Structure 1
C-alpha cells in the first residue's frame, strides 16, 4: 500500500475482532512509528503499549465506568487487541535545546519558551504514523482522545507527571460485520480550493 493509498483507506474503525496480534507485528508497528521526526531530533516521544486482553481490559476498566460502558455507542472498540498511547516528554526537548548547538534559541530554559508545544506535535506525528502503518498491514485503527481520563490512566499505568498524551490508537483486525458510519464520517470532505490558499490567504 502506498502512502497515498493508506491515507485514502484510513478510517476510524470502531468495531474490532478479538483476534490477537502477533508480538512481532506489534513491535514492528511501534518501532517504525518511533522513527517519525521530532524537533531537533529530541526523540522525546515514548509509547505506552497495551497488548493482549489483560492489559487492554485494565485500560478500559480504568477509563470507562460500568455505567458509561452500558450505553457506550461503540462496544466493538473495546475488542481491539492493541492500544498504543504516544506521549510527548517536554523534558527531553528542554535537554536537547540546552545543548551547545541549540542553546542560542533559548528553548531549553522552560516549557513556556515554546510558543508551540512540539512534544505534542511530534507525539501526534507518531499517532498518525501508527494509523498508516496499521492500514498498510491490513489492520483497522481508531484514534480517540483521553480527555478527562488522562489522570486516571496516568495513575494506573505509572506514567510520569511530565508526559503528555495526545490520545490513544486502537489497532486490530476489523470486525467483518459492517458497522454504521458515525455522523462525523458522513460529513463531506471540503473541496481542495476551499482549503488551499495559493500565494495569499
Structure 2
C-alpha cells in the first residue's frame, strides 16, 4: 500500500495513463453490457444446486420445447416474491469433436446458444420484476429433474404441459394446468 501511494505521487504521468486505460476499459465494458441489455441478451452465470429454497418455483426449460417462453413468464408471475430456479435440460449431446487444450474449460453450456438465449430472457424479465433467481444447466439424463427437485424443495414446478408426463419420478401433491397466450403449462404443486 505504501509503495502504491508513493508511486501515485512520484510518477504522476504513469498514474494518469493507468487511470485513463482503466477508465476506458470500464466504459467499453459498460457500453457493451448496456447494448446487450437493450437487445434483451443479458449474460447469465449458471449456478449449481446450493441447497433447499423453500417456497421457490422451479421452472423447467428444455431444448425441444416450444413453450419455454410461457414457462418463464408463468414462473415469474407465480413466484410471489420467492426465488425462481430456472433449470435448462439439454437433450442434445455435447460436441466433442476435438480434445480440449490445457487449462481449457469444457462446459456444454458455453456452446449452447439456445440455453443462453432463454436464460437471458428469464434474467431480463426477472430483473424487471425484482425476483431472486438462480440458473441451473443440466444435460438430459434419467431423473435429472427429480434430483434438482429433491435438492431445492420447490413448492411449484412449472413445465410445458406436453412434456409434464415425462417427469413421472417427481411426486407432486397435485397437478394444475394453466392456459397462457404462449401455450399450456403444468404446475406440479408440492407442500413440503
When normalised by structure 2's length, the TM-score is 0.26
Relative contact order (alpha carbons < 8 A, sep ≥ 6): 1 or 2 greater? 1
* Structure with greater strand share of residues: 2
When normalised by structure 1's length, the TM-score is 0.25
Answer with 1 or 2: which has the greater Rg.
2
